[in-house]
Amino acid sequence: MHCIHCLLLLLAGLLLLSHSQLVQASEDTSNQTSTEFSSNQTYTEFSQLNISSYQIVPGNANFAFRFYHLIASQNSRQNIFFSPLSISFALAMLSIGAGGDTQTQILEGLGFNLTKLSLPEIHEGFRLVQHRLGHPSTELSTKVGNVLILSQDLQLLSDFVSATKASYDSQVLRSNFRDTEATTRLINNYVKEKTHGKIRDLVSGLRPDERMVLVNYIFFQGLWKKPFPPSKGFVGDFYVDENTVVKVPMMLQDDQQHWYLDDRHVPCTVLRMDYKNDAVAFFILPQKGKMKEVEQVLSPDMLTRWNCLLQKRYFYRKLSLQFPKFSISNSYALDEILPGLGFQDLFTHHADFSHINQDEKLKLSKAFHKAVLDVNEAGTEAAASTGVSAMFFSAKPKKRVLVFNQPFFAVIYSTSTQNILFMGKVFNPTA
C-alpha cells in the first residue's frame, strides 16, 4: 500500500510530502507491526481537498529549494532557517497588484508554469492552503496571515482590495511613513501580536519616502507524537566543525520506535519525526565531513524519495535518540536575495504595480523575513514573518543509537496541504 500511496501522489503531481494517516499499532512482543497505512483514509483525504491546492505544491517546493541553495551558497557556515511558504504567500498576494512583466516575474520566480496553471488556479490554491492551515487544534496550530501597510494618502483600486481579501484574507493598515518611528512600531507590534510574541523587531531602517510595505507571518506550534522525558536531559557536545565544539542541552528518548534510514546512495541518516495531528519533520544528518555533498543533492525529488522509503515498515525500528534542545533565529533582506531568483524588476523603477494604484509609480523598496525556531521536549514552536520559524536535529549509527551532535538539515511540512512550512540547516545550535 505504501507504493500505491506514493504513486498516487506522484501521478497527481504532488511533489513531495505525502503523509499517511498512520495507525499506531501495539508495541508489545506479541505484535511487532508498528504502523500501517489506511488506504481508505489516504484516498478520502485526497478527494476532499480541492485539486487547486495540490497544483501549487510543485511550484512551492521548487521555490523552497532554490531559495535554500542560494542562501547556502552565501552562508555555508551559518545557521539557515526560513519559511518558504510564508514568502510564497506574500509574493503571490503581491502579484495580484502587479501587471505585465512584473506579474510574470513574480509567478515564474515562485516556480509556477503559467502555460499549465492559470492565475485563478494559483490564487485559489493559496486560498485553500491558508484555509486548511487555519484550523488549529489543541495539539497543533499553524496560522498564516498577510498585511499591507500603506501610506495614509495612497488610494487603492477596489479590485485589488477585494481580490487580496478573498484569496489571502489580507489586512490593510494605514500609516504616516514620514514618521518612520511610529510606522516601524506599528508593523513590529502587529507581527509580534500575531506570532504570539515569537517574532520581534521584524522591520527596521524604514525611510520617509516609503509608500507600501508587505508583511506576511506564519506561526507554528506542534507537539511530538512521542515527546522526550524532561528527566532524561543532559548536557552534551555538539561538533560544529573539526576545531569547534560547543555544549548544548540534549534530550534523550530511549527504547522508542522511529522511522529512520541510512541512505545507501547519499552519505546521511534521515529521521522522520511526527507531530500530533497535521505535521511531520525530516532531519537529515550527513556523515562526518559529508555536509557539502549531502547539501548539493537536496531537492524536491530527494525529499520525495526519502518520504516514500520512510513509509516502509522495515525502516520503523527501535533506537536511542539524542538531539539538542535549542532556539535559533534568522533574518533575511529579501530585496537582496530575490533578484537572484528571477525577481529582477520587483525592487526597481521598472516594477509595474498599476493594479494597486494607477495614480503613481509604486515599487517595493524593502522586504523583510525573519524566522525563529524553538525545539524542546514537548514539541516545537516556530514562527515566521515576511515583511518566519522551525526546528532541527543530528545523528549517528542492535539497539541503534542516533545522536544529533553535528550540523544537520531540517524540513517541517503540513501533511494535509503537502507544503513545506519551514526548512533550514542547524550549523551551530548555540549561535
CA dist 389 and 163 (Å) reads 28
Residue 32, number of CB atoms within 10 A of its CB: 12
Helix (H) or strand (E) holding 253: strand 244-262
Is 47 inside a domain boundary? no
The separation between CA 275 and the C-alpha centre of its own chain, rounded to angstroms, equals 15
The range of the structural domain enclosing residue 294 comes to 230-326+390-426
Is 335 inside a domain boundary? yes
Closest C-alpha to 55, from 299, 421, 417, 423: 417
Domain co-membership, 401 together with 413: yes
What mean pLDDT comes out for the span 245-261? 91
Closest C-alpha to 424, from 133, 71, 63, 56: 71
Cell of 382: 516556530
167-183 pLDDT per residue, tens: 888 888 889 999 999 99
Instruction: Please report the pLDDT score of residue 81 as a whole number.
Output: 92
99-128 pLDDT per residue, tens: 999 999 999 999 999 999 999 999 999 999
The DSSP letter of residue 35 is E
Domain co-membership, 336 together with 191: yes
Cell of 208: 520617509
Instruction: Please report the pLDDT score of residue 136 as a whole number.
Output: 66
Contact by Cβ (8 Å): 385, 368: yes
Instruction: Please report the pLDDT score of residue 245 as a whole number.
Output: 96
Cell of 413: 511540512
Contact by Cβ (8 Å): 373, 380: yes
Residue for grid cell 514618521: 179
Is 418 inside a domain boundary? yes
Domain co-membership, 284 together with 247: yes
Domain co-membership, 105 together with 140: yes
- CA gyration radius for the chain? 22
Q: How many domains are contained in the chain?
A: 2
Q: pTM for the complete prediction?
A: 0.82
Instruction: Please report the pLDDT score of residue 216 as a whole number.
Output: 79
> Which CATH number goes with the domain that contains 297?
2.30.39.10
Cell of 196: 504570539
Residue 44, number of CB atoms within 10 A of its CB: 11
Greatest C-alpha distance within the chain: 75
Average pLDDT, the chain: 82
Domain co-membership, 239 together with 300: yes
Is 136 inside a domain boundary? yes
> Which of 148-157, 232-241, 282-291 has the lowest average pLDDT?
148-157
Domain co-membership, 350 together with 244: no
Is 2 inside a domain boundary? no
Higher-confidence position of 87 and 153: 87
Higher-confidence position of 343 and 12: 343
Higher-confidence position of 158 and 364: 158
403-413 pLDDT per residue, tens: 999 999 999 98
Domain co-membership, 65 together with 137: yes
Per DSSP, helices labelled H in 24-74 are 39-48, 51-55, 57-74
Higher-confidence position of 199 and 395: 199
Higher-confidence position of 397 and 63: 63
CA dist 372 and 326 (Å) reads 11
Instruction: Please report the pLDDT score of residue 8 as a whole number.
Output: 37
Sign of CA dihedral 317, 319, 325, 327: negative
Question: In the 3-class helix/strand/coil scheme, how is 332-374 assigned residue by residue?
Answer: EEHHHHHHHHCCCCCCCCCCCCCCCCCCCCCCCCCCEEEEEEE
Number of DSSP helices (H) and strands (E) in the chain, helices first = 12, 17
Cell of 393: 536535529
> Which CATH number goes with the domain that contains 124?
3.30.497.10
The DSSP letter of residue 139 is S
Per-residue confidence at 398, pLDDT binned at 50, 70, 90? Answer: low
Which residues in 145-167 are b (16+ Cβ under 10 Å) and which e? bbbbbbbeebebeeebbebbeeb
213-252 pLDDT per residue, tens: 888 788 888 888 898 988 888 999 999 998 999 999 999 9
Is 200 inside a domain boundary? yes
Per-residue confidence at 45, pLDDT binned at 50, 70, 90? Answer: very low
